[in-house]
Amino acid sequence: MRVLVVGGGGREHALCWAIAASPLLTKLWCAPGNPGIAELAECVPVGATDIPALIDFARERQVELVVAGPEAPLTLGLADACAAAGIKCFGPSAAAAQLEGSKAFCKAVADAAGVPTAAWARFDDPGAARAHIRAKGAPIVVKADGLAAGKGVVVAQTLAEAEAAIAEIMESRVHGAAGASVVIEDFLEGEEVSFFALCDGATALPMAAAQDHKRVGEGDTGPNTGGMGAYSPPPAFTDAVRDEVMARIVKPTLAEMAGRGTPFRGVLFAGLMLTQAGPKLIEFNVRFGDPECQALMLRLRSDLLPALLAACDGELSRFDLRWEPTPSLVVVMAAEGYPGTPRKGSEIRGLERAAQVPGVQVFHAGTARREDGALVADGGRVLAIGAIGATLRAARDAAYAGVDAVEWPGGFCRRDIGWRAL
Ligand code: AMP
Ligand code: GLY
CATH of the domain at 376: 3.90.600.10
User: Measured from the CB, is residue 211 less than 6 Å from ligand 2?
Assistant: no
Q: Kindly state whether residues 215 and 301 are assigned to the same domain.
A: yes
Q: Kindly state whether residues 304 and 199 are assigned to the same domain.
A: yes
Specify if 147 maps to a domain: yes
The dihedral formed by the CA atoms of 148, 242, 300 and 63, expressed in degrees to the nearest 10: -50
Q: In Å, how far are 22, 28, 134, 194, 326 from 303, measured between CA atoms?
A: 6, 15, 52, 22, 18
* Range(s) of the domain holding residue 203: 191-318
Q: Kindly state whether residues 170 and 220 are assigned to the same domain.
A: no
Q: Kindly state whether residues 173 and 204 are assigned to the same domain.
A: no
Specify if 379 maps to a domain: yes
Q: Kindly state whether residues 269 and 196 are assigned to the same domain.
A: yes
Name 332's Cβ contacts closer than 8 Å, sequence gap at least 6.
10, 227, 228, 229, 291, 365, 381, 383, 384, 413, 414
Q: Kindly state whether residues 196 and 313 are assigned to the same domain.
A: yes
Pairing mode of beta strands 278-285, 381-388: unpaired
User: Measured from the CB, is residue 150 less than 6 Å from ligand 2?
Assistant: yes
**Measured distance CA(91)–CA(287) in Å, rounded:** 7
Specify if 105 maps to a domain: no
Q: Kindly state whether residues 207 and 292 are assigned to the same domain.
A: yes
Specify if 349 maps to a domain: yes
Q: Which of 93, 109, 136 is the last residue of a domain?
A: 93
Count of domains forming the chain = 4
Q: Kindly state whether residues 333 and 403 are assigned to the same domain.
A: yes
Q: Any idea which ligand is nearest the CA of 139? A: 1
pLDDT (tens digit, 0 to 9) for every residue of the chain, 422 residues total? Answer: 999 999 999 999 999 999 999 999 999 999 999 999 999 999 999 999 999 999 999 999 999 999 999 999 999 999 999 999 999 999 999 999 999 988 889 999 999 999 999 999 999 999 999 999 999 999 999 999 887 766 788 999 999 999 999 999 998 898 888 888 999 999 999 999 999 999 999 999 999 999 999 999 999 999 889 999 999 999 999 999 999 999 999 999 999 999 999 999 999 999 999 999 999 999 999 999 999 999 999 999 999 999 999 999 999 998 999 999 999 999 999 999 999 999 999 999 999 999 999 999 999 999 999 999 999 999 999 999 999 999 999 999 999 999 999 999 999 999 999 999 99
Ligand 1: atom nearest CA of 192 is 12
We report the CATH number of the domain holding residue 253 as 3.30.470.20
Q: Kindly state whether residues 74 and 144 are assigned to the same domain.
A: no
Q: Any idea which ligand is nearest the CA of 271? A: 1
Q: Kindly state whether residues 153 and 234 are assigned to the same domain.
A: no
Q: Kindly state whether residues 385 and 267 are assigned to the same domain.
A: no
Specify if 279 maps to a domain: yes
Q: Kindly state whether residues 298 and 218 are assigned to the same domain.
A: yes
Ligand 2: atom nearest CA of 292 is 1
Specify if 381 maps to a domain: yes
Specify if 112 maps to a domain: no
Put the strands of the sheet holding 65-68 in their side by side order: 42-43, 27-32, 2-7, 65-68, 88-90
Print burial letters for 290-315: b (CB count within 10 Å at least 16), e (below 16): bbbbbbbbbbbeebbbbbbbbbbeee
Q: Which residues line ligand 1 (CB under 6 A)?
A: 118, 141, 143, 150, 153, 155, 185, 187-188, 192, 214, 224, 271, 282-283
